[in-house]
A and B are shown apart, each in its own frame.
Chain A
Amino acid sequence: MTTATANPPLVRRLRLKVPALVLLAGVWMALMVGVAIFADQLRPYEITRMDLMARLAPMGTPGHILGTDELGRDVLSRLLQSIRMSLVIAFGATILSAVFGTTLGFLAAQFRGWVEHLVMALADFQAALPFMIMALSVLAFFGTSMVLLVGLMGFYGWERYARIARGLAISASAQGYASAVVQLGATPGRVYLKHILPNVASTLIVSMTLTFPEIILMESGLSFLGLGVQPPESSLGNMVGFGREYLTRAPWIMLAPSVVIVLTTLSISLLGDWLRDTLDPTIR
């Protein structure tokens, strides 16, 4: 109970020793978010613009710093657009699954009984079946579309939030502060939104930093297999997937997106670890 939360200003907390590696990770993520927001302004060419005179141009070609692909499309432009696509999907899916999982977890904690059994059985089921297999079969039945892809990714990891949220909500009710507020006459909505949610938020945010890179990997894996983001749209995964065809002649097509994927997942993992150590009082 030593966390002086919300009290010291954020700036002061940040000034408390942040390891250099974490700082680098933060800078990289800020860069990625910047790219995602300003992709339209930053990219030198339209992603579909073909320069048939300069097909498979290597890295460092004037005008195409990262080279071009088999149709002469600028790799840098496509990379920037892909970063946006992958990040938007990952952000959207992370938030969806956090909201969905947390809501189910709270419902299980509030109603107990069969609601709880049902939620927990679904969570077990989700944990037992590899997500990729489930995603593939859903995509097979419904065909690939952007909405379906984000929706599907939004199920990734929900069972973890559900378990965490349920556990924390139950212990909050047993601990006292939640039951004390119930006892004051508060409605369940007020108890969960104004008291339990703020108290468990840090733990949930830490789990979000854990699922976020996994969702990026999952989406890029599906796109790599040609079952995720469909052309003409482009994501990091399907860039690697198409680059694979030219592995021998033009490895740079797959190299750039691969590096971005690895650095991004690494950065979020580092940030997540650091965040867990500093923010979360439940993991000591």
Chain B
Amino acid sequence: MATYLLTRLLRAFLTIVLVMTFAFVVLRLSGDPAQIMLGPDAPQDAIDAFRARWGLDDPLWKQYLAYLQQLLNGDFGVSMRDGSPALALVMERVPATLALTLPALMLKLCIGIPAGVYAALHRESIADRGVILLSIFGFTIPSFVLGLVLVLIFAVTLDWLPSGGQDTWRHAILPIATLSIGGIGILARFSRSAMIEVLGQPYIRTAMAKGLPWRDVVWKHALPNAAVPIVTLVGFMVGALIAGAVVVESIFSWPGVGRLIVVSVSNRDLAVVQCLLLVIAASMVVANLLVDLAYGLLDPRLRAARPAH
């Protein structure tokens, strides 16, 4: 387990370094960083000061190291628009995004997994078909179409819910629904097939043959084994959730990180974009680390330390 954790940590660290490198490479490829970071109208002395501070006249590897050091010190540059620190600007938006993504994730887990397990235990039932249908929607309907359709129905036609903004909890309902519906379908379908596969295994048949009550077979034998692949998928879902937040926040004018990234990209506010890139990558890595941890706890093969050779 210690080895397992260490390798995961090492890989997480490596990914962060790769993202930083990616940001550095893109930054350098796109032209003079001084011009880009300070904007086209920056006065010459500001540019010179910037060049000196970031060591832009040093050899490339030295710049790279200096760049990494800046980032590790929490210095992500300043926003082109109002000169405030990029990191503060991003952090300010994080709670709003979490207010959408966390409930959406909970909904996905709390509805998707039980629905999938139920469908697996009641195959060919109406619920089973419903799960399959919903998952097809999840795969094929883009979130921006779904969001707009929901607005059309619930805000425009029925006038039950607001179509945008962030004033009350009612404003969050449509964005959360948009963010979670597709994912619920996908997770339900995946849980269904994981469960069906586990139920077909010989050890389940053995458990049934020795007369264990069906409830115990499901709860003690099938579910723990089906959980392993499901947890892996949840890891991927975090990435989808962040990408989804970008679109959903734009549709519903929700002032979160996703909206910030779209606005910053349109305005080419590069310090903010770069900061967002790193913050999102870091949260992805942390999420994946948590998933790996859960995975390690669920899978006894990883829990035990491997015998040394």
Tell me if chains A and B make direct contact, with any CB pair below 8 A.
Answer: yes
What residues of chain A have their CB less than 8 Å away from a CB belonging to chain B? 121-122, 124-125, 128-134, 136-143, 213, 217, 220-221, 224-227, 237, 240-241, 244, 247-248, 251, 254, 258, 261-262, 265-266, 269
Residues of chain B in range 99-119 having any CB-CB distance to chain A below 8 Å: none
The smallest C-beta distance from A282 to any residue of chain B, in angstroms, reads: 17
Asked if B151 and A225 make an inter-chain contact with CB atoms under 8 angstroms apart, the answer reads no
Residue from A129, A258, A261, A269 whose CB has the most chain B CB atoms within 10 Å: A129
| Contacts A128-B288, A130-B284, A140-B264 given; does A247 touch B148 at CB 8 Å | yes
B231 at the interface (CB under 8 A from A): no
Please report B residues at the A interface, Cβ cutoff 8 Å: 11, 14-15, 18-19, 22-23, 26-27, 29-30, 36, 136, 139-145, 148-149, 151-152, 156, 239-240, 242-243, 246-247, 250-251, 261-262, 264-266, 268-270, 273-274, 276-277, 280-281, 284-285, 288
Question: In the complex, A53→B137 CA distance in Å?
Answer: 39
Closest Cβ–Cβ distance, residue B247 to chain A (whole Å) = 6
Nearest residue (CB) in B for A265 is B140
* Chain A residues, Cβ within 8 Å of B140: 213, 262, 265-266, 269
A128 to B17, CA, bound (A): 12
Nearest-CB residue, chain B, relative to A220: B142
Contact, CB under 8 Å: A124 / B243: no
Q: How far is the CA of A224 from the CA of B243 in the complex (A)?
A: 13
Chain B residues with CB under 8 Å of A254's CB are 145, 148
Interface contacts beyond A124-B15, A137-B23: sample of 12 additional A-B pairs, CB < 8 Å, sorted by A: A129-B284, A132-B243, A133-B243, A133-B246, A139-B265, A141-B29, A217-B142, A225-B246, A225-B262, A240-B145, A258-B145, A262-B140
CA distance A139 to B265 in the complex (A): 7
Considering the complex, give the chain A residue whose CB is closest to the CB of B274. A137
How distant is B163 from chain A, measured CB to nearest CB, in Å?
8
- Using Cβ atoms and an 8 Å threshold, which residues of chain B touch A251? 152, 156
Whether A140 lies near B139 (C-beta < 8 A) is no
Residues of A contacting B14 with CB < 8 Å? Answer: 121, 124
Q: Name the residue of chain B whose CB is nearest to the CB of A131.
A: B243
Cα-based distance from A132 to B148 in the complex (angstroms): 20
In the bound complex, do residue B281 and residue A128 qualify as a contact, i.e. CB atoms below 8 Å apart? yes
Which of B36, B145, B265, B280 is the one whose CB lies under 8 Å from A130?
Answer: B280
Which residues of chain B are within 8 angstroms of A240 by Cβ–Cβ distance?
A: 144-145, 148
**A125 with B18: CB separation less than 8 A:** yes
Given A132-B243, A133-B242, CB of A140 within 8 Å of CB of B273: yes
Residues from chain B with a CB closer than 8 A to the CB of A139 are 265
Which residues from A are CB-within-8-Å of B250? 225
Determine the chain A residues whose CB is within 8 A of the CB of B268 once the complex forms: 140-141, 143
Most buried by B among A131, A133, A265: A133
Q: A121-B18, A130-B239, A133-B277 are in contact. Are A225 and B247 (CB under 8 A)?
A: yes
The one of B23, B29, B143, B285 that contacts A128, using a Cβ cutoff of 8 Å = B285
In the bound complex, residues from chain B placing their C-beta under 8 Å from that of A258 are 145, 148-149
Instruction: Please name 25 pairs of A and B residues whose Cβ atoms are closer than 8 Å in the assembled complex, sorted by A.
Output: A125-B19, A128-B239, A130-B240, A130-B243, A131-B243, A132-B243, A133-B242, A133-B261, A133-B276, A133-B277, A136-B261, A136-B265, A136-B273, A137-B26, A137-B276, A140-B265, A141-B27, A224-B144, A240-B145, A251-B152, A262-B141, A262-B145, A265-B139, A266-B140, A269-B140
* Closest B residue by C-beta to A244: B148
Shortest Cβ distance from residue B250 to the other chain A in the assembled complex, whole angstroms: 6
Contacts of A140 in B (CB 8 A): 264-265, 268-270, 273
Contacts of B264 in A (CB 8 A): 140
Q: Which residue of A lies closest to B137 (CB)?
A: A262
The CA-CA distance from A137 to B25 in the complex, in Å, is 12
B36, closest chain A residue (CB): A141
In the complex, which residues of chain A have a beta carbon less than 8 angstroms from the beta carbon of B143? 221
A250 to B188, CA, bound (A): 35
Residues of B within 8 A of A266 (CB): 136, 139-140
Q: Does the CB pair A129–B281 fall under 8 Å?
A: yes
| A17 to B79 CA separation, bound complex (whole angstroms) | 60
| Inter-chain contacts of B144 with A (CB < 8 A) | 220-221, 224, 237, 240-241
A residues near B276, Cβ cutoff 8 Å? 133, 137
